[in-house]
Amino acid sequence: MPDTATLRTWVAEARVDLADRLAVLPDEAWDADSLCAGWRVRDVVGHLVHLAETSRAAMVGEALRLAPATAATTLTRLAQRTAEADPQDLVRRLREAGSGGFTPPGAGPVAALGETLTHGSDALRPVGGTPRPADDRTRVVAEAYRRWGFVFGSRPAAKVRFTADDAGWSVGPEAGPVAHGPGEAVLLALAGRPEGVADLTGPGADRLQR
């Protein structure tokens, strides 16, 4: 695992990179459905902008103001509120808040990196945007998702070995059935997105699909 300073640099770079990719989307794409159920592309970006701009103390205060809403409901309301801004304003804010330091308690900056990479795909995939190529940053997030149990929360999936064909890395037990494909698909599968699983092949992918 890279040190905290390196991870924070990666988060800032990933936010700026995503802002560049979002900036060229046509206006109609912002109101299209994302891979996150019930969220438009602009809602996903609103969520990322809010996380980049907020602090832990501010997040606690917002949660208290919206109580007794659940954490998921609170995040949705905050994302949708932020998302009402003009798309290019959201792009600018994501870029300018790239070094924002909010991270979920106990997770560290790798969680912010995961949010940016995964939600970037959630927003770009359905509207034909160009995804970020998989690399070691994707691998670090994939390894974190496995540690945190994001693999559908099921034992069969936890035994799968995921291989990113385009990035040359694998995560999971060496003796496990292999699910391989693009690194972006591996990350989405680990984050519980069926669209990621659909792009993987091999006996491990068959297990996931079952």
Residue range 180-192, pLDDT digits in tens? 999 999 999 999 8
pLDDT tops 60 at residue 9:
yes
Residue 163 corresponds to which tokens in the numbers above? 């291989």
Identify the weakest region by mean pLDDT among 58-62, 90-94, 96-100: 58-62
When pLDDT is cut at 50, 70 and 90, the band that residue 156 belongs to is: low
Q: Are residues 118 and 186 in the same domain?
A: no
What average pLDDT does range 78-104 have in this prediction? 90
Please state, in angstroms and rounded to a whole number, the distance separating the CA atoms of residues 43 and 39. 5
Q: Are residues 9 and 108 in the same domain?
A: yes
Q: In terms of residue numbers, what domain contains 146?
A: 142-209
Q: Are residues 115 and 148 in the same domain?
A: no
Q: What is the pLDDT, as a whole number, of residue 159?
A: 86
Count of other CB atoms within 10 angstroms of residue 114: 25
Identify the weakest region by mean pLDDT among 67-71, 158-162, 168-172: 67-71
Q: Are residues 24 and 119 in the same domain?
A: yes
Q: What is the pLDDT, as a whole number, of residue 154?
A: 53
178-181, strands of its sheet edge to edge = 169-171, 161-164, 178-181
CB 22 within 8 A of CB 129: yes
| Contact partners, residue 124, CB within 8 Å, separation at least 6 | 21, 22, 25, 130, 131
Rounded to 5 degrees, φ, ψ at 180 are: -130, 155
Instruction: Report the candidate in 134, 137, 144, 149 with the shortest Cα–Cα distance to residue 186.
Output: 134
Question: What are the DSSP calls for 122-162, one per residue?
Answer: HHHGGGTPPPPPP-HHHHHHHHHHHHTT-STT-HHHHTPEE
Q: Are residues 123 and 146 in the same domain?
A: no
5: buried, middle or exposed (CB in 10 Å: 19+, 13-18, 0-12)? exposed
Residue 132 lies in a domain: no
Tell me which of 127, 151, 167 is where a domain ends.
127
Tell me which of 76, 94, 127 is where a domain ends.
127
Residue 83 lies in a domain: yes
Q: What is the pLDDT, as a whole number, of residue 163?
A: 96
Instruction: Report the candidate in 5, 32, 8, 11 with the shortest Cα–Cα distance to residue 113.
Output: 11
When pLDDT is cut at 50, 70 and 90, the band that residue 88 belongs to is: very high
Please state, in angstroms and rounded to a whole number, the distance separating the CA atoms of residues 160 and 165. 15
> What domain count does the chain have?
2
pLDDT tops 70 at residue 63:
no
| Contact partners, residue 167, CB within 8 Å, separation at least 6 | 133, 134, 135, 136, 138, 139, 183
Q: Are residues 11 and 99 in the same domain?
A: yes
Q: What is the pLDDT, as a whole number, of residue 25?
A: 96
The DSSP secondary-structure symbol of 205 reads: H
Tell me which of 93, 127, 161 is where a domain ends.
127
pLDDT tops 60 at residue 153:
no
* Partner residues linked to 180 by β-bridges: 163, 201
Q: Are residues 119 and 179 in the same domain?
A: no
Q: Is pTM, for the whole model, over 0.75?
A: yes
Q: Are residues 162 and 107 in the same domain?
A: no
Q: Are residues 12 and 80 in the same domain?
A: yes
